[in-house]
Each structure stands twice: as C-alpha cells, then as structure tokens.
Chain A
Amino acid sequence: MAETIKTYKVKANDFVFSFDQAAIDAADFIKKSGEEFNLICENRSVNARLLESDSTGKKLKLEIEGESFELEIKDELDQMLDSMGFSTASTKHIKEIKAPMPGLVLDIAVKEGQEVKEGDRILILEAMKMENSILIQSNAVIKRIAVTPGQAVDKNQVLVELE
C-alpha cells in the first residue's frame, strides 16, 4: 500500500525537516566504513559517524562535527498514523508550575488564593549561586503552594498548583 512514498519527515534533536526523494537523490552519500559516512550536499563535504541505530534504521543517533543528533525518520505511513490522532492538543490549561531545574527555593512572592497575571514572579529559585525568577506564563489563581522557602527541589518538582 505504500509503494509511492513521496515525502519524508525527519526529526533531528528539536528540529523537523521534510525531504522529497529528489532532494535525497541530489545529495552524494558514501560509506567509509560501517559507521562512518561522507555526504556532499550543495558542495559542502561533511563527515558523519553512526553512534546508535534501532533495528528498523529509522531511529538513530549520528555525530556531525562533534555535535550529536537524535534522529527519527517518518515516512508517509508514519505521518498518516501521527495525523490520525496521537498528537497532543497544544492548548492545554496550565495546572501547575514545575521547577525548570534543581535548586533551592529562596523567596515565594505569592500567596494561596492570589490572582496572578502573566509575567508575574512566583518565586526565586537559586541554583549554582545564581538567583532565577520563576514567572507565570498566563493569568491564573494560585491554588496551593507546594514548597517552602529554603527547600531544595528537583527538576520538574511541582512548585505551585493553579486553579
């Protein structure tokens, strides 16, 4: 059923690219060994090294100029499956604020029940001798404060819950 696959999507770290077969054919690819390749694309000669690959060859890890990339290839069938509804809705209501990094809670600027506006400071998180303000991204009401000043928190630990 998938005899004429036309476009491919590739996720590379946090980038996504689309290629058609013509673009793939235009690049000149050779294998230097099982894990080492060279690609000439628009006159640029680039060496790449295969670090990991799953059994399908669609999920792999490559290194280019010292930088490593997690890659995932999606052919037309994969893209169709994705569009059939496994993608998540992006307009989720924010229910809580989590710590973006491990650190120490220094100062909490809000109270339970308080209405806050987008950009308001919720608390200050100290990490590596630097003070980082944690701001809120939308208007909300503080339901519960889950931490206390002086407390050490892990990454993704809930700091405050919102109504």
Chain B
Amino acid sequence: MKKILVANRGEIALRIMRTIRKMGIKSVAVYSEADRHSPHVLFADEAVCIGPPPSNQSYLNGEKIIEVSKALGVDGIHPGYGFLSENAAFAQKVTDAGIEFIGPTPEAMRVMGSKLAAKESVKKYNIPMVPGIDRAIEDVNEAIDVANRIGYPVLIKASAGGGGKGMRIVEKADDMQEQMERAISEAKSSFGDGSVFIEKYVTSPRHIEVQVVADKYGNVIHGLERECSIQRRHQKVIEETPSAIVTPEMRERIGEAAVKVAKSCNYVSTGTVEFLVDDKLNFYFLEMNTRLQVEHPVSEMIIGLDLVEQQIRIARGEQLAVTQEDIISNGHAIELRVYAEDPLNNFLPSIGTLTKYERPVGEGIRVDDGYEEGMTIPIYYDPMIAKLVVHGKTRTEAIQKMLQAIREYKIEGVATTLPFGTFVFEHDAFFSGKFDTHFVKNYYTPEKIREKQKANAEIASLVALKYWQERKKMLGPVDHKSTSWKRRLAH
C-alpha cells in the first residue's frame, strides 16, 4: 500500500495518519467545510473537501469518499470509528471498487451488527451468555414465561439496538405488557427493526471487553482486557487495563472466549468483544464491535503494539508477527475521555472556542486530540476534544499520574469532563476497584465538584487579598492621593 485515505475526522483521523506516516505511506484526509482548520487536514499529505458540515453530507457520504479515493489512486481506506466504520454496505462498495478496506469483512460486520445474529453465530462455541431467549419475540405471555424461568428483573433489548436505546428493565410480570409494547415501538422508530429479546438483568454489572487481533489466515490473538465500567448516559468516559478485578485465571478464560467469538465470524483485523461481568465474576458475551475502539490506546500502552499498524499490515496480507505468548501485560494504563461537556450541568454539551489549550506532557502521558488553541468546537459532531492516556508501573502510580496530568491540562473557553475525571480518580470506590456501571448514579453529584471548586475559590480569594494588600504597602507613596494632587497644583 502506498496511499491510504482516512474516512474520518478529529483525533482518530490524526492518530491513524501518524501511524501511516511512520510506515512510509502517504495519507489522504477528507474533510467537511467545518473542518478546514483541523489538525488532520493540516497533517495529511493530500486533503479533499467532501461537502458541507452535516455528517450525512460529508463524512457519511460513502459514494463521494470512494470517488475521491479512485481519483487520487488510493489503495486503502481506514474508516476510524463511528461514521462509516461499521457500515457493511460501505465496506462492500470499497472492496468492489478494488480498494482495500482496512477493517473486517462486510460479512463479519453484518453478523456482529445484529445482536441476535451474533448470539446465533457464537452458540456452537460454548460462549457464556446472559440467561434469556436468543430469538425475537412479540408475544407477552411468552415473555412472561421466559422471565419466570430466568427470574426478575429482566431486560428487554432491541436486536438492532445500541447506546442504551430500546432497552427496558422489567421488575415484575404486571409491567411486561406495557414495557414490551414500548420497547418494540421504540426499536421500530429508532432502528427500523422492531425485534426485541429478553435477558436476565444483571444488577451490579461491570463492562469488560477484550481486544482481539486477527489476520487473513485464521490466526487470532487477544490483547488482554479493558475495564470500561465508568460510564455516563451508557457511554464510556474512563477505561483502564488491566481490570482491577480480573484474575490471571479469568483473564485466560475471557481471552479464550473472545478469540472464539472472533473465529465464529471469521474475523479479520482488530476488533473488540464486550462482556458483562456480574458481582460473582461470571462473564457473559454481550456483543462484538467490529472496528478500532476509541479506547484502544490503553491496550497499546500495556502490550506495546501499535494497533493501527497491525490493521494496515493485516490488510495488506501480512501474517501476525506476534503470537499469544508474546502478549504480556506491562504496567497499568488509564484513559479519560475529555469531552466538551459540563459535568456540573448534567453532562450537556458545552460549545465554544478553546481560548486556552495546553496539553500535559511527560513520560507515560499520551494525548490523542484533534484541536489547537483558538479552535471552535463544531456543533455537528461528537463533542470529544481529546483522550488523555497515562501509563504507570502500577495502578496506583497510573492514577496519581492521571491526577497530575489533569491538573496540567489547561482548557478554557468550554466546560470539560476533566473535573469529573478528578472526582472519579480521587474516589475511594474507584481506587479500591469496587465499582460497577452504576458508578455515576451511585456516587456522583455535581455538588461534590462545586464544593471543591468553592474551597479553591476561597483560597484564591485570600491569595488575591494578600497579594493586593502587600502590593499596596509596597507602592504606598505612589498611591498617595495628596501627593499627586500637589503635583497637579504645581503646574
């Protein structure tokens, strides 16, 4: 491959292009009219504007992207995450155009894109799954039968769902009828597919996922786990590896399960198998994400592999150069997603201009971002500014390094999730590792951040008064009003 087009924007486009350049390959950026000043456009060897700001007219315009690729003689397209990354039809069109799609096959995307098809696919591999029913149901009585068998509370889920949409918790049989109807209607309107299924609701769940890497020759390895339980709005904010609760024995079993899931759909490239872990450390297959994950840097830091480089090598037909035995966990890595969101106001988007933007620097600190000081955060896309990733020899060291890095990260002009990060990393539940996906609900209130801000504001006020009074003392004679009055009289 001599030239790769990155069909994405922001931090991930820049991160992918850095690896492309490192490998001696030319990079092509595509951008919308809102992104002319973006670092990914400035960094690329070639850049093409593909349309107006809304993503359905630019970054989601697969036809246009393929057209640009053909015109510029591109031999590979990297989709990043989001946008077209899990769009099987796009991957198919890229392949049909004679261009290498740097990612899994359209078929693997199709299977894993449907939760029910995914369950069907992994069935014969003995992968633990949350107790429930693995086919679409509509009949309320059948739903009640299933719920009686597996025990309440149960979860109604949309087969095509994601991001918490179309999910409903049912506590008792009386509520089943209404919740089923609403879940089906929500699934239809959100995903165009009304099929729902039922599983046992795991009450204190942790979200643990396993990185997998597979070449085109059936070699599949796993790159250990990532703990992603700290979420807001069912979306991850903090990820770490290794998980504080996974034992070496469990790591081996969950890793093997992930490899089997990847094999079940003849997976190629990097992917992630997500599991739900209950309070007794039982793990259950949730779904497979057929793309490079946002949080891949934490894995890169402890296994020492550049996952984008692996994707490109796999796409150009190379065999995996590492075996499972080569994957050894080195230290501890944590990521904080820095979103332009206000943690004091329900994590609502905080849009504006970055009047100040200074990154923390230091050994073991990595910042993947797509902004510079003075840039405005566009309203059209995901509000993530950066991923702040740290590596330490131990979990404690990594947490301390993260707290220090947050202090040194200077962002002004918009509210960010940085203070939320400080809250989590200083919290006993996080420090002890005893937390689940309900962390925000159980422990977080904006008042706690406000109290701390108030204490610092009071100290700042005292410093200001001290400084002012000392300065007045020093400047005493000059400040003397009668003196200046006399001078004026003398004229």
Contacts and interface: CB of A to CB of B under 8 A. Distances in A.
B351 A69 contact: no
Interface stretch (B131-139, B236-244, B259-267, B401-409): B401-409
B67 interface: no
Contacts, number: 120
A108 interface: no
Interface stretch (B94-102, B152-160, B379-387): B379-387
Nearest to A66: B407
Interface stretch (A85-93, A112-120, A123-131, A140-148): A123-131
Interface in B397-433: 406-410, 412
Nearest to B406: A66
Interface string B448-476: 00000110111111111111111110000
B465 A37 contact: no
A46 B377 CA distance: 33
B460 A69 contact: yes
B361 interface: no
B453 to A, nearest CB: 7
Nearest to B456: A64
Interface in A101-157: 101-104, 127-130, 132, 152, 155
A19 B465 contact: yes
A57 B472 contact: yes
Give the contact-size bracket for chain B: 35 or more
A33 to B, nearest CB: 13
B464 A65 contact: no
Interface string A23-45: 11001010100000101010010
A128 B460 contact: no
B426 to A, nearest CB: 12
Contacts of A129: 381-382
Interface residues of A, number: 43
Interface in A53-93: 53, 57-58, 60, 62, 64-69, 71, 73
Contacts of A155: 351-352
**Interface residues of B: mostly helix, strand, loop or mixed?**
helix
A102 B379 contact: yes
Contacts of B410: 66, 68
A137 to B, nearest CB: 15
B332 to A, nearest CB: 22
B51 interface: no
A70 to B, nearest CB: 9
A73 B468 contact: yes
B250 interface: no
A58 to B, nearest CB: 6
A128 B467 contact: no
Nearest to B469: A24
B350 interface: yes
Contact of A102 (B348, B351, B454, B472): B351
B319 to A, nearest CB: 39
B460 A48 contact: yes
A68 to B, nearest CB: 7
Interface of B: 340, 348-352, 377, 379-383, 406-410, 412, 453-454, 456-472
6 contacts: A10-B465, A62-B460, A62-B464, A64-B456, A128-B377, A130-B348
* 7 tightest Cβ-Cβ pairs between the two chains A and B: A66-B407, A10-B461, A12-B457, A29-B466, A69-B460, A128-B383, A71-B464
Given A48-B460, A128-B377, 4 more contacts: A17-B457, A29-B467, A46-B456, A73-B464
Interface of A: 8, 10, 12-13, 15, 17, 19, 23-24, 27, 29, 31, 37, 39, 41, 44, 46, 48, 50, 53, 57-58, 60, 62, 64-69, 71, 73, 101-104, 127-130, 132, 152, 155
